[in-house]
Amino acid sequence: MTFDAVLRRLASDLEISVVFCTRLPLAPSWAITGPDVARASWALPLAGALIGLLGAAAYWLAHFLGLPPLSAAALTLAATLVATGCLHEDGLADTADGFGGGATREHRLEIMRDSRIGSYGACALIMSLLLRWSALASLAGPAAVAGALVAAHASARATMPLLMRLVPHARADGLAADAGAPPRASVAAAGALAIIALGLGLDHGAAVVAVLLLASAVAFMAWLCRKQIGGQTGDVLGALEQVGEIVVLLTAAALV
C-alpha cells in the first residue's frame, strides 16, 4: 500500500469514527459497514477528543459570560449530549434496565431492545449526569475542564474496541455483531491514543490512576456482561463508555 493510500485510509477511518460517535453533519460518499467500524475503532479516541473539545468550548463561553461553575458545567454536558445524540447514554439506560430487570438471559436481551426506559435506566442516567456534572463543576477553570474533558471522552471510547476484542457477541445480530472483533492493531492504537490523551489532559499521577480504573472497568464489564447475557452488545459498549467518562472525570476532580 502506497503512502497516499495509507493516508486516505487513516482519513477514512477518522471520518467513520466521527460519523459513528457524533451527530456532526458529515456525509461519507460510501456506505459504512460493520467491519468498517471495527477497523476504524482505533480512531474512536480521536472522535472522543473532538467531542471533549466541543464541550470545552461550551464551558469557555459560559465562563466568559460570567456564569457560575455549576451552570457552566451543565451547559458543557448539554453540548456533549447534543454532539453525540445521547448515543452512549441510551446504551447505559438499556443495559441498566436489562441487567436490573431481566430474570433470564433472553429476558434481559429483550428488555435491552425495548426503546422504552425503565426505572433502572432512568436512575442510571441520573447518576451518570450528576457525577459528570459535579466533577466538572469542581474543576478550577476552563483549562482544567478542557484537559479533563478531552482525556475522559478520548479514553472512554478506547475501552470499547478492547471489550469488543475480549468478549464475544451476545447476539447474532445488532451493532456489535455486525462490526465483529476489531483487529489487534486497532485495539492497540486506540489504547495508545487513550494514554496520550490522559497524559496530556491530567497530571501524571492522575493519569496513572485513570488508566488503572479504566482497565478495572473493562474487566468488570467483561465479567458482568458474560454473566448477565453471555457476551457484549452495542448497549453494553455504550454503558462502558459512560463508566469510562465518569471514572476519568472523578479522577480529575479528586487529583488534579
| Mean local confidence (pLDDT), 21-25 | 89
Could you give the CA distance from residue 63 to residue 67 in angstroms, rounded to a whole number? 6
Residue 243 inside a domain? The answer is yes
Residue 1 inside a domain? The answer is no
* Total structural domains within the chain: 1
Q: What is the pLDDT of residues 170-198, one digit of tens each?
A: 987 766 667 778 999 999 999 999 999 99
Q: Is the pLDDT of residue 167 over 70?
A: yes
Q: How confident is the model at residue 33 (pLDDT cuts 50, 70, 90)?
A: confident
Could you give the CA distance from residue 199 to residue 221 in angstroms, rounded to a whole number? 24
Write down the pLDDT at residue 175. 66
Query: Cα separations (Å) of 46 from 51, 63, 229, 235?
Result: 9, 25, 30, 21
E-assigned strand segments in 55-184: none
* 17 in Cβ contact with 84 (< 8 Å): no
Residue 174 inside a domain? The answer is yes
Write down the pLDDT at residue 6. 78
Coil, helix or strand at residue 117: coil
| Mean local confidence (pLDDT), 117-142 | 97
Lowest mean pLDDT among 16-20, 31-35, 65-69: 31-35
Residue 161 inside a domain? The answer is yes
Residue 102 inside a domain? The answer is yes
Query: Cα separations (Å) of 132 from 28, 169, 229?
Result: 32, 29, 28
Q: Is the pLDDT of residue 30 over 80?
A: no
Closest CA to 158 of 132, 183, 192: 192
Residue 242 inside a domain? The answer is yes
Q: How confident is the model at residue 112 (pLDDT cuts 50, 70, 90)?
A: very high
Q: Which domain holds residue 209?
A: 44-255
Q: Is the pLDDT of residue 83 over 70?
A: yes
Q: How confident is the model at residue 159 (pLDDT cuts 50, 70, 90)?
A: very high
Task: Return mean pLDDT, the chain.
Answer: 93
Write down the pLDDT at residue 171. 84
Residue 19 inside a domain? The answer is no
Q: How confident is the model at residue 124 (pLDDT cuts 50, 70, 90)?
A: very high
pTM value is: 0.94
The alpha carbon of 162 is separated from its chain's Cα centroid by a whole number of angstroms, namely 12
Write down the pLDDT at residue 218. 98
Residue 24 inside a domain? The answer is no
- DSSP character string of 13-45: HHHHHHHHH-------SS---HHHHHHGGGGHH
Query: Cα separations (Å) of 79 from 5, 23, 74, 162, 202?
Result: 35, 12, 9, 27, 22
C-alpha cell read off for 248: 476519568
Q: Is the pLDDT of residue 1 over 80?
A: no
Q: Is the pLDDT of residue 27 over 90?
A: no
> What percent of the chain shows pLDDT beyond 70?
96
Q: Write the DSSP symbol of residue 183.
A: P
